Each structure stands twice: as structure tokens, then as C-alpha cells.
């Protein structure tokens, strides 16, 4: 047993650290540090910089332009990225549809879509959930009916994150209703968002922001060539994708960074005669949070170590989504508590640069504490709610 990294790994870390120091644009950094929402151009510009340095396809095989990094390298990269407070890559293209295309798509699809995903030339969004199909995704009703060389798509997708920016959508739609198991009739289809019949309507979330959308399909005609893999196998592709997408699911690097900032904040804000950091109740919460985060970090590292030696992720990996999101929410709660009265002011356009100059917005590392707290209640709901995750562990790990 050994805690240390190899000299090669340390050299890699230094190289990545230098990259973030030199290449992360100051104006985007400023926005992120002050909790200002990034616009589409910010994301695209930043991702193109990552792509130029070959840092986009972190999970992709080398043959498709990926990094080919080891699990430890991915971990170190995530730590450096978090410590620079650089924004995460928007996942829908590079982390979600990309792997499905290179795993199950045909040659034409790979050539057509993969380079634009790595280069962030095309913004993708995800069409999985529906108003009537959340945790029970297999009950989805969106239909794709074959008509000559096209599928005619009808239905509604929802919770489509940043769909307002998207040029393309990947969706699960039912191509066959005459099946023994309802999962069998589902196909994985790619659609150009400018297709007539596709409309996007905003959903305003609890904190007042526009992040998610409903996407409506009304007789939208999508070429049959946009089917990925075989018709009726979409459910399997979607599931395989989820199993492979373990990297960074725990969000350890980001949470470590946020806890460090929270401690700084608690050291500098006064509570009576002493810093908040020394107030027994709050201090106790900070300690408990740090202990839980260490537990999560080393559970994550154990998973990485297993993967690095060629083993499949052990059962401990299945707890990462649950514990990772619980940790995010715990930190959100503590930030809000640390803000005291300053959690209260609601500035509708607080996420813009102008509003952030207003003196009711605290000038700290997390100017939008309460809004973030409310917004991130989503974390234990999305990506398969934490209750669904527990069902999965009960069935597949504990054999219940």
C-alpha cells in the first residue's frame, strides 16, 4: 500500500497545472469566481482551448482523438481543473453522445459527428426524460415512426439542460410498441434541432434561472441514417454509457476546492468575538463534512486504483453518485449558513456581471449561495435519483 504518485504522474500534474495557470482566460475565471453564469460563447471558447491542447476527450480512446489517460491521470486533471476553478466541460457532447457514437455508431456517423464534438463546433443536448417518464425512463412515450427514409418523431422531452443553446439532440424514442419487454422497442436517434417540428420551451427553475427546457417534437422528420446502432437497442446503449461514465461522478476535486474556500470564508467572517470557523456548532459541521469528503475521496481513489490495474470498478464505485451529490448539497447548505443575512437578497439577474456589482451581493467566492443551494437540490434527483441508485445497489451489489 502506498499513497504516493509516480514521478511520471507528478510531471503530468505539473504540466496540467501550468496549462491552467497559463491558458485559462482571465475573463472567464473572473465570472466563475464571482458566480456569474457563463454564456454559450464562454463555454465554447474555453472548450476549444482545451481541445487545442488535446484535453477534451478525457475518456475517449486515442484512436478517436481522446487522451488515452490512465485513471490516475484523469483524477489529477480533475484536481487541477477544480483548483483553478475552471468550468467543467458541458457533458452532453463529449461525455454522453460521443462515447455512444464511437462505441455503436457506423463509420459515417463517427466521421460526421466525432470531430465536431471534440472541437465543440456543435452543441449537443440530451432527450431522455419525459413528463411521464422520470425515474421510470422505460415508460417513455415519444414515438419515432418509420416513413420511407425518415423517422417521424412525436412527443415531449423534458429537463433538457442547456437545450436552448443546442444544435443537435440525442434522444431515446420508441420505434416498436409490439415487444415483450418495453425496453426493447426503444432506439437511440440523433436529431438536428433546426428540424421543422422541434421547438424548445424554457423551464424556469426554483432559483429563477433558465437552465432546463422542454423539447417538443411534432411530426419532426429525421433521416433514418441518424439512428445509432440497431433499431430497438437504444436502451442498452444508454445503459452501457452510464456504466462506463464513472470518471468524476463523485465530484471529489470540485468539492475539495469548495470546502477549502468555505474554510477561508469561515475564517474571515466574524461570529461575535471570534471567526465563524471557531464557533463550536459550525466548526463541528465543517469537521463532519471534511471527514465525509475524505471518505468519499478515498472511496473514489480505491475505484480508480482498481480500474488502473485493469479490474472492473468494484462495488464501492456505485456509491459515488449518491455520496458525491450528498456532499455537493452539504457544502451548498454550509455556504448558505455561512452567508448569514446575505443569503437573503434576491437579485433576479444576479447571474450577470452588472448585477454582481450591486452591494447586496456579497463579494466572496460564492456570491450566489442561496440560489446555488436551491438550484442544486437537483443533484440528488438527476442522473437517476439517489433512490434509484439505491435500488441499483440493492439489486446488483447486495443481491436483494
Partner 1 sequence: MDFSISEDQSMLQDSVARFIQDEYDFDSRQEAAATDTGFSADRWREFAELGWTAVPFSEEDGGLDGGAVELMLLMEQFGRGLVVEPYLPCIVLAGGVLKRLATEDQKATWLADIIGGEKLAALAYAEPQARYDLNDVAVTASADGDGYVLNGHKTVVLNGGSADTLVVSARTSGERQDAEGISLFVVDASSAGIKRKAYPTVDARQAAEIHFEQVRVGADQLLGAAGEGLATLKAVIDDATIAVCAEAVGIMQVLNYKTLEYSKQRVQFGVPIASFQALQHRMVEMFMIYEQTRSLLLHAVMTEEADAGADAALHALKIQIGTEGRKLGEEAVQLHGGMGVTWELDVAHYFKRLTMIDTLFGNADHHIEQYPLAV
- Contacting residues toward partner 1, per CB under 8 A: 1-5, 72, 260, 263-264, 267, 277, 283-284, 286-288, 290-292, 294-299, 301-302, 304-306, 308-309, 315-316, 319, 322-323, 387, 390-391, 393-394, 397-400
- Backbone region of residue 325 per phi and psi (left: phi > 0; alpha: psi in -120 to 50; beta: other values): alpha
Using the minimum distance from each CB to partner 1, give the nearer residue, 1 or 344: 1
Residue whose CB is less far from partner 1, 203 or 394? 394
Smallest distance from partner 1 to CB 330, Å:
14
Question: To the nearest whole angstrom, how small is the minimum distance from the Cβ of residue 381 to partner 1?
Answer: 16
337 in active site? no
Least Å distance, CB 29 to partner 1, is: 22
Cβ-based nearer residue to partner 1, 298 or 382: 298
Which one-letter DSSP state was computed for residue 6? P
Which residue, 320, 330, 321, is CA-closest to 255?
A: 330
Least distance to partner 1, CB of residue 248, Å: 16
Check: CB of residue 69 under 8 Å from CB of residue 61. no
Gap between the terminal Cα atoms of the chain: 33
Cβ(207)–Cβ(350) below 8 Å: no
Given a contact cutoff of 8 angstroms between Cβ atoms, the answer to whether 34 and 356 are in contact is yes
Distance from C-alpha of 21 to C-alpha of 135, rounded to nearest angstrom = 41
Least separation in angstroms between residue 263's CB and partner 1 is 5
Closer residue to partner 1 in complex, CB, 225/278: 278
For residue 254, what is the enclosing H or E element? helix 252-268
Phi, psi dihedral angles at 384 (to 5 degrees): 85, 105
Between 209 and 324, CB nearer to partner 1: 324
Q: Is the separation of the CB atoms in 318 and 389 below 8 Å?
A: yes
* Cβ atoms of residues 163 and 125 within 8 Å: yes
Residue 286, classed as helix, strand or coil, is: helix
Nearer to partner 1, 194 or 309 (CB): 309
**Residue entry with cell 467566492:** 365
Interatomic CA distance for residues 310 and 292, integer angstroms: 27
Report, in Å, the least distance between residue 343 CB and partner 1: 22
**Which of 119, 167, 184, 245 is flagged as catalytic?**
245
User: Cell digits for 59?
Assistant: 475518456
Which cell is 58 given?
Answer: 478525457
Helix (H/G/I), strand (E/B), else coil: 192: strand
Q: How many residues does the chain have?
A: 400
CA distance 250 to 191: 31
Q: Which one, 28 or 322, has the nearer CB to partner 1?
A: 322
Q: How far is the CB of 329 from partner 1 (least distance, A)?
A: 16
Residue 32 has which C-alpha cell?
466563475
Contact by Cβ (8 Å): 129, 158: yes
What minimum distance in Å lies between the beta carbon of 16 and partner 1?
A: 16
Question: Would you say 69 or 128 has its CB closer to partner 1?
Answer: 69
Residue 194 half-sphere exposure, CB side, CA atoms within 13 Å?
A: 3
Annotated catalytic residues are 245
Amino acid at each position: 500500500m502506498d499513497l504516493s504518485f509516480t514521478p511520471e504522474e507528478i510531471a503530468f500534474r505539473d504540466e496540467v497545472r501550468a496549462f491552467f495557470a497559463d491558458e485559462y482566460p482571465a475573463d472567464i475565471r473572473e465570472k466563475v469566481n464571482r458566480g456569474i453564469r457563463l454564456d454559450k460563447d464562454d463555454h465554447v471558447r474555453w472548450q476549444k482551448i482545451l481541445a487545442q491542447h488535446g484535453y477534451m476527450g478525457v475518456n475517449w480512446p486515442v484512436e478517436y482523438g481522446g487522451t488515452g489517460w490512465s485513471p490516475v491521470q484523469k483524477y489529477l486533471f480533475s484536481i487541477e481543473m477544480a483548483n483553478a476553478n475552471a468550468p467543467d466541460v458541458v457533458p452532453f457532447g463529449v461525455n454522453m453522445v460521443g462515447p455512444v457514437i464511437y462505441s455503436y455508431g457506423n463509420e459515417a456517423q463517427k466521421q460526421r459527428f466525432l470531430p465536431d464534438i471534440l472541437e465543440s463546433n456543435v452543441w449537443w443536448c440530451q432527450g431522455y426524460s419525459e413528463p411521464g417518464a422520470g425515474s421510470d425512463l422505460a415508460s417513455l412515450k415519444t414515438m419515432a415512426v418509420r416513413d420511407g427514409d425518415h423517422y417521424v418523431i412525436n412527443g415531449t422531452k423534458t429537463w433538457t439542460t442547456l437545450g436552448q443553446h443546442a444544435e443537435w439532440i440525442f434522444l431515446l424514442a420508441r420505434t416498436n410498441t409490439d415487444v415483450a419487454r418495453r425496453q426493447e422497442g426503444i432506439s437511440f436517434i440523433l436529431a438536428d434541432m433546426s428540424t421543422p417540428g422541434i421547438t424548445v420551451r424554457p423551464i424556469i427553475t426554483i432559483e429563477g434561472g433558465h437552465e432546463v427546457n422542454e423539447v417538443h417534437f411534432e411530426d419532426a422528420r429525421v433521416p433514418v441514417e441518424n439512428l445509432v446502432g440497431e433499431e430497438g437497442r437504444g436502451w442498452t446503449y444508454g445503459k452501457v454509457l452510464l456504466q462506463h461514465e464513472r470518471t468524476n461522478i463523485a465530484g471529489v476535486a470540485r468539492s475539495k476546492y469548495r470546502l477549502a474556500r468555505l474554510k477561508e470564508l469561515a475564517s474571515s467572517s466574524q461570529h461575535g468575538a471570534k471567526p465563524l470557523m471557531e464557533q463550536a456548532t459550525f466548526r463541528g459541521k465543517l469537521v463532519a463534512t471534511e471527514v465525509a469528503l475524505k471518505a468519499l475521496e478515498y472511496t473514489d481513489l480505491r475505484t480508480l486504483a482498481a480500474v488502473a490495474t485493469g479490474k472492473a470498478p468494484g462495488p464501492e464505485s456505485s456509491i459515488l453518485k449518491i455520496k458525491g451529490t450528498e456532499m455537493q448539497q452539504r457544502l451548498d447548505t454550509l455556504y448558505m449558513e455561512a452567508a448569514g443575512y446575505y443569503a437573503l437578497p434576491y437579485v433576479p439577474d444576479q447571474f450577470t456581471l452588472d448585477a454582481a456589482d450591486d452591494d447586496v451581493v456579497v463579494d466572496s467566492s460564492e456570491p450566489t449561495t442561496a440560489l446555488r443551494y436551491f438550484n442544486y437540490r437537483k443533484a440528488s434527483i438527476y442522473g437517476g435519483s439517489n433512490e434509484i441508485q439505491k435500488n441499483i445497489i440493492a439489486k446488483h451489489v447486495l443481491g436483494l
